[in-house]
């Protein structure tokens, strides 16, 4: 096993490099790699020669939902095992191999027809196969919504392996679902990831400003894997490395590249690391924080004012909106049955405040915390046994208050 000290150099792009080496557009990448393993292996050998200490196995689209598009869902476990074996053979035992979980394309209620458990179970199936295949860690990358981020991380966490999580945000500073990087950071840290950060969509210069906002609140190392392929140009290795210096100054400590980055880009980053003087990171602001998809809510130093108890009835959405107008700083929601959780799932996105759940049923609380897409508060006045309350809250990253 390679001995890692920070900063850690990851690999570069897989898909764009495979296409440059002959892979047609529109094919099932995973199936193509299985049919042309030497192409992937040569690429990963070049990344290691350039300085990569870890590579991602080519399992980006090897979840059962994506594989079903090609009629391959029933081969999910076999495909993942074979892809990991190809990477391991290429890089040997002295380079880490990560299993890659990425978007399924499913949209969870109320923005789509899938349930959160469908998403969670799809990721569980792939993560379990990756664990059996012998990966060293699991990376959940290119995440675009809080639901897929939480589902991927919860599933990966069940393997007992270290879990990395990276979101992709657009130039406006949010993901396609509207998720903010800060909300993503808070939620992923609450679930116990080993490192968190950003990948894809933007180049290193734009990514640096987004990452810098996270640094004071990052209790785990930050990851940066920006693109070299941008809408108006492709950054050559020299420019990519020059722009990357801002990411190191912003706090990135696991670094690599996404779309358009070649072994030459990684070699440039290795040279940069050899001569860069990294700044000391600021002390972590360890304030407790709740989160919704769009916002993080820092609670330290605040005199929290709970709303009047809100029931999960037909007016839940309006009541959540009105809670802020009443002067409350936290929306207190009573959840007592599975039907209440369904209403919460449908309406939680309407709240502009952090949500506190009051629940006296362990089973219902478990269901509510699993399906709440963010970091919820849990009322300490619950009649649930304190130990059970703490276990459920810890499992889903909630805060007892």
Give me 250's structure tokens.
């912003």
Quote the pLDDT of residue 173: 85
Report whether 252 contacts 211 (CB < 8 A). Answer: yes
For 308-318, the pLDDT digits (tens) are: 999 999 999 99
Looking only at the bridges linking them, the beta strands covering 252-255 and 331-334 are unpaired
Quote the pLDDT of residue 376: 98
Report whether 9 contacts 276 (CB < 8 A). Answer: no
Q: Which domains, ranges and CATH numbers included, belong to the chain? A: 8-275 (3.20.20.330), 289-400 (3.20.20.20)
Q: Distance between CA atoms of 213 and 139, rounded to whole angstroms?
A: 22
Quote the pLDDT of residue 60: 97
For 327-375, the pLDDT digits (tens) are: 999 999 999 999 999 999 999 999 999 999 999 999 999 999 999 999 9
Give the dihedral of Cα atoms 142, 144, 145, 147; nearest 10 deg. Answer: -30
Q: Give me the residues of the chain with pLDDT under 50, please.
A: 1
Kindly report the pTM of this predicted structure.
Answer: 0.96
Specify the 3-state DSSP secondary structure of 144. coil
Quote the pLDDT of residue 4: 64
* Residue 217: DSSP 8-state: G
Quote the pLDDT of residue 133: 98
Quote the pLDDT of residue 86: 98
Report whether 201 contacts 229 (CB < 8 A). Answer: no
Quote the pLDDT of residue 1: 46
Give me 259's structure tokens.
């779309």
With b meaning 16 or more CB within 10 Å and e meaning fewer, what string describes 169-192? Answer: beeeebbebbbbbbbbbbbbbbbe
Helix residue ranges per DSSP H, 100-198? 116-133, 146-157, 181-190
Beta strand spans in 131-214 (E): 137-143, 163-167, 195-199
């Amino acid at each position: 096993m390679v001995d890692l000290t920070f900063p850690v150099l990851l690999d570069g792009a897989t898909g764009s490099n495979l296409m440059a080496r002959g892979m047609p557009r529109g094919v099932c990448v995973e199936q193509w790699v299985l049919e042309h393993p030497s192409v992937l292996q040569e690429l990963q050998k070049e990344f290691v020669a350039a300085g990569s200490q870890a590579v991602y196995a080519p399992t980006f689209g090897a979840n059962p939902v994506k594989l079903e598009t090609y009629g391959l869902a029933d081969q999910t476990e076999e495909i993942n095992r074979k892809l990991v074996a190809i990477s391991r053979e290429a890089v040997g035992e002295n380079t880490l191999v990560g299993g890659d979980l990425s978007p399924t394309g499913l949209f969870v209620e109320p923005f789509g027809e899938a349930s959160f458990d469908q998403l969670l179970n799809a990721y569980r199936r792939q993560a379990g196969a990756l664990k059996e295949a012998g990966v060293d860690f699991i990376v959940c990358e290119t995440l675009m919504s809080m639901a897929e981020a939480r589902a991927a991380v919860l599933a990966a966490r069940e393997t007992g392996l270290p879990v990395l999580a990276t979101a992709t945000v657009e130039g406006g500073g949010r993901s396609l679902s509207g998720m903010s990087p800060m909300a993503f950071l808070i939620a992923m840290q609450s679930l116990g990831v080993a490192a968190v950060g950003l990948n894809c969509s933007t180049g290193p210069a734009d990514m640096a400003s987004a990452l810098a906002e996270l640094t004071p609140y990052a209790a785990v190392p930050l990851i940066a894997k920006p693109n070299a392929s941008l809408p108006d140009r492709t950054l050559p290795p020299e420019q990519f490395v020059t722009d990357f210096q801002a990411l190191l100054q912003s706090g990135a400590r696991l670094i690599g590249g996404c779309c358009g980055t070649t072994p030459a880009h990684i070699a440039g980053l290795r040279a940069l690391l050899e001569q860069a003087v990294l700044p000391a990171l600021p002390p972590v602001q360890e304030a407790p924080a709740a989160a919704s998809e769009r916002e993080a809510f820092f609670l330290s130093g605040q005199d929290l004012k709970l709303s009047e108890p809100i029931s999960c009835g037909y007016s839940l959405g309006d009541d959540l909106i009105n809670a802020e107008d009443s002067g409350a700083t936290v929306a207190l929601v009573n959840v007592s049955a599975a039907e209440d959780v369904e209403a919460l799932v449908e309406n939680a996105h309407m709240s502009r405040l952090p949500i506190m759940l009051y629940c006296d049923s362990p089973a219902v609380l478990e269901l509510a915390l699993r399906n709440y897409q963010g970091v919820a508060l849990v009322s300490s006045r619950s009649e649930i046994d304190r130990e059970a309350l703490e276990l459920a809250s810890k499992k889903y990253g909630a805060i007892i208050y």
